[in-house]
Structure 1
């Protein structure tokens, strides 16, 4: 089959790998000038993964020469490029090619993709590997456009702007700010950090591997596998605390509180940055350098609401105006709208954004009723509060290949997940999420910050991997095939691997 993949990050590369092994043709359309997804976009100082790279990497493309446990951005992107080149994927990526619209043709049983430049491409199946963290979010603050100095989002870092010796306002204290603020605090003359919600933190020491450790990783049989499964178990233990064992979550909270109190010697800073929400309802962040940076004499944590921005500074609700030379937005992403601005039109012209008006939903986070031969990678409710999203992505790619195998056995037509299956699947997920820790505060896991949880999977990574181990023929209807309209496709064996 001809498969179009939108996005060349971890998801797109993994899906391409599995499609190649299954004998399908594919093309990846990537709007940027390089692969990597978030690891191409986020080049801010200090950018790195907070999951150890021996787990945050493909199971079929393991490296034993990572420079440190949690690798920096450039090293992760270099790894993805090496994998894509070695697997023949790089040659099948069309860079600088943004897909603006996708339409399902019910007669031809194919998808027509239209690029932002007006080009058209046809595919039998469409995989949206756009990710959840690709569109920067900017707060609606009066006067932001009037600021005379440089202003940019952390995911669009302007490396032409030299912030050394300058006064910088950082607005937002999410996962990116946790990493770049310590670097910025050492370079800038002054940093004003505007905080809406204080995060919980846990320690992260990330030294380079000593030579002896690097040698052991390369040469000791089974050590890499032991590390991977060991860290997988640690992550699942966190999820156990979040979902089934409250005393375990309480222990993690005590660990965080003890660590933070130990680092926060300045009582005034401690008062400002002490979290007020329930542990785990927002993303837990890992850093051993962030809190010390906030206590530097050239850093001020501002908890008053930002009222407006003018040409030379930021004014808060208490009437204080702080002059600055540059603004860095650390305000996250539109995670609850995973495919916007791409417009996707399915059977009967129905639009995906309209179907998701009350929040994105999909059967197992992968298939959507009314959109035949459409598959999502890192779709709704497949994010993790703690864990490696690469494990989820690999499972989803296997499911896509399994679904295409069902279609091959049917001998024609297209697969469309049954509406009642999607409804039951998403309702079951929401039932498990109702009253969970992720509903206890505002976060990017939820629609519009405080609505339905559209980001997170409610259980363990292993549970999800098993749930999507193969596509169930009974979940789909076969549409458009001669003499097989609305039929169930014949079953196919689960794919190997």
Structure 2
């Protein structure tokens, strides 16, 4: 079986929705968005654990071209992001392009026919002029490699595969992981579990969360006077971007800002926890910015509750009825919650096998030559291919910043393709190398290169110790470059 499309987009999250909107604006109508899940929303459809919220202000965590006046809070709960995704897909009429419960096995460029052949797991082959990988950075749950995990006789729940019908009431519960997900879910589980043990390998910097609700009157104001919400967004956008640039990319000159952030987190711990030894265990030994920090006003307080325990001795093995630590102690457990995040590097970059021109395998090439993508979206030897969750793509802390600058890149690139009446684009190796060298040089001033990050165990670092997920520039720079990158960096070919 074979079907022909202008473009196949892999992923129906906010990246895939944004790509479809942009392609449709350019006049492409034969678009197919495929997703392995049963509905749209990506991360915000899959993740449903209690306590799920955004950790970026809601005003910033949304498309600039589609403000949402209906956020209930400054930091909206996850269900509202799912509702927002549905609203955008319906308003811009891209739901019509979506096919769910569809898993892509791989894609290959057919140089003779000058099309992409996209193989599905049911045997169907899709043919497309353009291929867009919009799988996101956090789409493959990471299962921890712990001896005996498969022998556990109780219930195991990964936060990315939450069972909303399961009750934790009266359960002896263990949570493995202390990243941003655990910081959100632990306070909620503590409300039900009879005993809650949190297994920490690496402590996280936790900052106060300046959260507040938007009253119905404020929401009506945002709907009737969009400029009011735009003004608020200007403050949240500017604040987030400035913090990112100074604390992460200009660490050489503004290290004092990172130290100040650490002091704020330490003050929050001091005010929340009276036990000095517990505070010490929660104090990271790496610089602020090496690992994704998070926001919470309840995490530290929860760990101080009498029925909640922080375990830092490390896990030796899991047995049928509990967990044995490396110092030989055993904790009896009924329910095991895995807040172990996502496998960014091995299973996600790329999330599907992509074979380009002359048989180049994208994953293999990245691992042998360094993770790289021109402007964080295109790769040489991969014609008519755009990758949204790619090296040097993530700018700012809001995923929407990345999606929207990439939409601008698509607009200019494909607009030029149409102007030349061409059918194929491909970025040159020289342009890609220049961009790669510039991004690498910019990272020399960053906390990743100059900070104490060795013990952070951050998913921001690749297995080789590099940190190529982020574009180390301001959001404004990323946006402006999409309007002025040299079109000569691409070759345009007529079929």
User: Closer, same or farther in 2 for the Cα pair 1:101/1:323, shift >3 Å?
Assistant: same
| Map of 1:365 onto structure 2 | 376
In 1, Cα distance between the equivalents of 2:353 and 2:259?
43
Kept after mapping to 1: 8 A contact 2:393/2:402: yes
Could you give the per-residue CA deviations for residues 359-385 of structure 1, whole angstroms, max 9, x where no partner exists?
Answer: 43211110011100100113212224x
| Map of 2:307 onto structure 1 | 298
| Map of 1:4 onto structure 2 | 8
User: How much is the aligned-residue C-alpha RMSD, in angstroms?
Assistant: 1.7
**SS of residue matched to 2:426:** strand
Residue 62 (structure 1) shift: 1.3
Kept after mapping to 1: 8 A contact 2:135/2:351: no
Kept after mapping to 1: 8 A contact 2:133/2:388: yes
| Map of 1:445 onto structure 2 | 460
In 2, Cα distance between the equivalents of 1:94 and 1:121?
12
Kept after mapping to 2: 8 A contact 1:130/1:339: no
**SS of residue matched to 1:366:** coil
Residue 340 (structure 1) shift: 4.4
In 1, Cα distance between the equivalents of 2:226 and 2:343?
43
* Equivalent position to 1:51, from 47, 50, 56: 56
Residue 341 (structure 1) shift: 4.5
Segments of structure 1 that go 5 or more residues without pairing to the other structure are: 483-497
In 2, Cα distance between the equivalents of 1:346 and 1:157?
36
Matches of residues 62-141 of structure 1 in structure 2 within 5 Å? Answer: 62-141=67-146
User: Is it true that 1:177 corresponds to 2:187 in the alignment?
Assistant: no
Matches of residues 392-431 of structure 1 in structure 2 within 5 Å? Answer: 392-431=402-441
Deviation larger for 220-229 or 141-150: 220-229
Deviation larger for 423-432 or 130-139: 423-432
Residue 39 (structure 1) shift: 0.3
In 1, Cα distance between the equivalents of 2:144 and 2:40?
28
* Equivalent position to 2:492, from 453, 460, 478: 478
| Map of 2:472 onto structure 1 | 458
| Map of 1:15 onto structure 2 | 19
Deviation larger for 328-337 or 246-255: 246-255
Segments of structure 2 that go 5 or more residues without pairing to the other structure are: none
Kept after mapping to 2: 8 A contact 1:49/1:72: yes
TM-score with structure 1 length normalisation?
A: 0.92
Residue 47 (structure 1) shift: 0.6
User: Is it true that 1:377 corresponds to 2:388 in the alignment?
Assistant: yes
Residue 151 (structure 1) shift: 0.9
Kept after mapping to 2: 8 A contact 1:362/1:368: yes
Residue 141 (structure 1) shift: 1.0
Kept after mapping to 1: 8 A contact 2:245/2:472: no
Residue 250 (structure 1) shift: 2.8
In 1, Cα distance between the equivalents of 2:246 and 2:270?
22
Could you give the per-residue CA deviations for residues 110-159 of structure 1, whole angstroms, max 9, x where no partner exists?
Answer: 10111111111111011100011000112211111111111121111122
TM-score with structure 2 length normalisation?
A: 0.93
**SS of residue matched to 2:367:** coil
Kept after mapping to 1: 8 A contact 2:408/2:479: no
Kept after mapping to 2: 8 A contact 1:8/1:35: yes
Could you give the per-residue CA deviations for residues 270-322 of structure 1, whole angstroms, max 9, x where no partner exists?
Answer: 11111111111111110001111111111110011111111111111100111
In 2, Cα distance between the equivalents of 1:261 and 1:382?
37
**SS of residue matched to 1:309:** strand
**SS of residue matched to 1:301:** strand
Kept after mapping to 1: 8 A contact 2:69/2:220: no
**SS of residue matched to 2:191:** helix
In 1, Cα distance between the equivalents of 2:322 and 2:483?
54
* Equivalent position to 1:162, from 161, 164, 167: 167
Residue 247 (structure 1) shift: 2.7
Kept after mapping to 2: 8 A contact 1:403/1:470: no
In 1, Cα distance between the equivalents of 2:481 and 2:362?
24
Matches of residues 303-342 of structure 1 in structure 2 within 5 Å? Answer: 303-337=312-346, 338-342=348-352
Kept after mapping to 2: 8 A contact 1:136/1:155: yes
